């Protein structure tokens, strides 16, 4: 999952980036509003974390602009001011949630997970695909009642496919949402990870859950 952070306090942006990367998210950062607006409109983000007080273009203006152009990416706004007026105007402008600074990192994580679920129509933090169970809060995977150990990258790919279950996901789409641009991209990186996950969740079972689509992609389907 790919998250765009628009925040001019560099130390805060960098700490959040580091923490989220450790959780397996791919992070883009914009340190001012102009860059943030450009990236929000051009990068394939799954969630945007948007500070309100920003140099050049403020967060509220960015939010209004991207909603006007039809970008529906969930937006979590950050504000230093815990004022009702900020919250109301932010929500009116199309923000999905709010977090007042300073915040605990765990709370940010919980909000991100909630936004992800809401956006994908997943009701709980657990996704079931046949007898495969993905617990997104605990980041645990089981199939047929047995725990399956995945590396952070394998987990990130499987979780993303689970959130988008029953949908055809092209290699390009998966690459855009799961890998850093600086990650030296071999076009078959997705295939490599899919093979590893298949070995862990599908190999010992008759019913396969990961389907290869003719042409270009994959689908997770029960
Ligand atoms: Ca700021």
When pLDDT is averaged across residues 143-164 and rounded to a whole number, the result is: 93
- Among residues 24, 19, 21, 54, the alpha carbon closest in space to that of 39 is found at 54
The rounded Å distance from CA 95 to ligand 1 centre is 17
Residue 125, pLDDT above cutoff 70: yes
Over 65-86, what HEC string results?
HHHHCCCCCCEEEEECCCCHHH
The rounded Å distance from CA 70 to ligand 1 centre is 25
Residue 134, pLDDT above cutoff 80: yes
Residue 82, pLDDT above cutoff 70: no
The rounded Å distance from CA 118 to ligand 1 centre is 27
The rounded Å distance from CA 79 to ligand 1 centre is 8
Mean pLDDT of the chain: 90
Residue 187, pLDDT above cutoff 90: no
Share of the chain above pLDDT 70, in %: 94
Name the band, by pLDDT with cuts 50, 70 and 90, for residue 186: low
The rounded Å distance from CA 86 to ligand 1 centre is 14
**Single pTM value for the model:** 0.85
The rounded Å distance from CA 106 to ligand 1 centre is 21
Which of 1-10, 114-123, 164-173 ranks highest by mean pLDDT? 1-10
Residue 94, pLDDT above cutoff 90: no
User: Which contacts (CB < 8 Å, 24+ apart) does range 76-83 have?
Assistant: 76/47, 76/48, 76/49, 76/50, 76/108, 76/111, 76/112, 76/115, 77/50, 77/51, 77/52, 78/7, 78/49, 78/50, 78/51, 78/52, 78/103, 79/51, 79/52, 79/53, 80/52, 80/53, 81/52
The rounded Å distance from CA 47 to ligand 1 centre is 18
pLDDT confidence of residue 185: 59
Phi then psi for residue 113, to 5 deg, are -65, -40
- Over residues 64-80, the pLDDT tens digits come to 999 999 999 999 999 87
């Amino acid at each position: 999952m790919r998250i765009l952070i628009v925040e001019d306090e560099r130390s805060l942006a960098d700490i959040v980036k580091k923490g989220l990367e450790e959780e397996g998210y791919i992070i883009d950062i914009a340190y001012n509003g102009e860059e943030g607006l450009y990236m929000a409109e051009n990068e394939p983000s799954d969630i945007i974390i948007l500070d309100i007080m920003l140099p050049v273009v403020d967060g509220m203006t960015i939010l209004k602009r991207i909603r006007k152009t039809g970008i529906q990416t969930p937006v979590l706004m950050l504000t230093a001011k815990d004022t009702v007026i900020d919250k109301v105007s932010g929500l009116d402008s199309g923000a999905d949630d709010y977090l007042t600074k300073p915040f605990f990192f765990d709370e940010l994580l919980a909000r991100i997970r909630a936004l992800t679920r809401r956006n994908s129509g997943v009701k709980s933090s657990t996704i079931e695909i046949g007898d495969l169970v993905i617990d997104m809060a605990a980041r645990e995977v089981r199939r047929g009642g047995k725990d399956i150990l995945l590396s952070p990258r394998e987990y990130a790919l499987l979780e993303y496919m689970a959130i988008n279950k029953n949908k055809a996901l092209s290699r390009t789409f998966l690459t855009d949402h799961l890998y850093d641009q600086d990650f030296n991209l071999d076009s078959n990186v997705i295939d490599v990870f899919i093979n590893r996950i298949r070995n862990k969740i599908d190999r010992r079972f008759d019913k396969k859950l990961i389907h290869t689509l003719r042409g270009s992609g994959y689908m997770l389907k029960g």
